[in-house]
Amino acid sequence: MISREQVKDPKRRILMVCVQMFIEKGFRSTTMLDIIREADVSSGTFQNIFRTKDGVLSELTEFMFSNQFAVARSLGGGNLSPVSVYAVETAIQLAITEMNEHLREIYIEAYTKSDLAEYIYQKTSDELFRIFGRYNPQWTESDFYESEIGTAGMMRAFMAHPCDKYFTLKKKAIKLAAMAFAVYNVPEEAQREAFGILSAMNIEETATAVMKKLFSALEMTFDFRFTGDRKQNDIT
């Protein structure tokens, strides 16, 4: 799976192996023994760096949620309104979970585990304050944090329910955005603009492009390389 000559640092090897195995086998099906064997590290080295498999997931979750809104903002030449950025970012998350059942599992685990969910609440509520603060001038940062607990619950529920011929990805994305906009008192004009963008965009194609950008950023951040064929196959 990896070349020890290419990746000397054990932390980077572990991250590389875990990303690949979580996508190929699933988070729950990947064992500590699998990781240790493929990364060619001792159990003591792994535990000193990450302690548990959840520790790896925590680092990956923090990376993904630190970059997703930035990637969404870059779409459309960086000219999307803040409300539309929110709609696109949530649509991308939903689309990623439809690409691969193991990706769905990773996202649901992140939204379920209490420490990771808490990170998501805090990280996302900061963005919500910036995006929706103008529509809720009396709200405090605490109000946005508390509301994010609810909207994150909606996101998790929509992720957990696979799309079908009736509940398509586009319908799911617009429905989730509409429910969130109601929570955050978004004016109808701004809602219509966001819905128009979602209706016109190829969400699956956009999500694939975003995943490629995130994988590239992951490689640069942790200084390793995925093998080309596997990287391409895992996200399409």
pLDDT, tens digit (0-9, with 9 covering 90-100), for 182-219: 999 999 999 999 999 999 999 999 888 888 877 776 66
Among 54-58, 131-135, 171-175, the least confident range: 54-58
- Co-location of 93 and 192 in the same domain: yes
pLDDT, position 220 = 56
Assigned domain for 190 exists: yes
pLDDT, position 224 = 47
Which structural domain range is residue 90 located in?
58-213
Average pLDDT over residues 85-114: 93
Q: How many domains does the structure of the chain reveal?
A: 2
Assigned domain for 77 exists: yes
- Co-location of 90 and 139 in the same domain: yes
Assigned domain for 4 exists: no
- Co-location of 128 and 194 in the same domain: yes
CA 177 to chain centre: 16
pLDDT, position 214 = 76
Assigned domain for 72 exists: yes
CA 125 to chain centre: 15
Nearest residue to 152 via CA among 204, 189, 185, 107 = 107
- Co-location of 189 and 83 in the same domain: yes
pLDDT, position 219 = 66
Using CA atoms, how far residue 192 sits from 183, 202, 204, in Å, is 16, 18, 21
- Co-location of 151 and 229 in the same domain: no
- Co-location of 116 and 209 in the same domain: yes
Which carries the bigger pLDDT value, residue 77 or residue 57? 57
Provide the 8-state DSSP code for 77. G
Percent of the chain with pLDDT over 70: 87
pLDDT tens across 159-184, in order?
Answer: 999 999 999 999 999 999 999 999 99
Assigned domain for 1 exists: no
Nearest residue to 95 via CA among 235, 198, 203, 196 = 203
* Buried/exposed code over 166-196 (b: 16+ C-beta within 10 A; e: otherwise): eeebbebbbebbeebbeebebeeebbebbbe
- Co-location of 126 and 42 in the same domain: no
Q: What sign results for the dihedral spanned by CA atoms 130, 205, 155, 119?
A: negative
| Residue/partner pairs of 150-154 with CB below 8 Å, 24 or more apart | 150/183, 151/179, 151/180, 151/183, 152/111, 152/117, 152/120, 152/121, 152/124, 154/179, 154/180
What's the residue count for the chain?
A: 236
- Co-location of 85 and 150 in the same domain: yes
Q: What is the spatial distance between Cα 118 and Cα 30, in angstroms, rounded to a whole number?
A: 24
Cβ-based neighbours of 153, under 8 Å, separated by 6 or more: none
Q: What sign results for the dihedral spanned by CA atoms 92, 97, 103, 108?
A: positive
Q: What is the spatial distance between Cα 88 and Cα 197, in angstroms, rounded to a whole number?
A: 8
CATH code, 153: 1.10.357
What pTM did the predictor assign?
A: 0.84
CATH code, 44: 1.10.10.60
Cβ-based neighbours of 161, under 8 Å, separated by 6 or more: 167, 172
Assigned domain for 110 exists: yes
- Co-location of 101 and 31 in the same domain: no
Please answer whether residues 35 and 22 qualify as being in contact, where contact means their C-beta atoms are separated by less than 8 angstroms.
Answer: no
- Co-location of 106 and 153 in the same domain: yes
Q: What angle do CA 18, 225, 215 make, to 5 degrees?
A: 70
Assigned domain for 207 exists: yes
Among 19-33, 72-86, 105-119, the least confident range: 72-86
Assigned domain for 5 exists: no
- Co-location of 46 and 77 in the same domain: no
- Co-location of 33 and 139 in the same domain: no
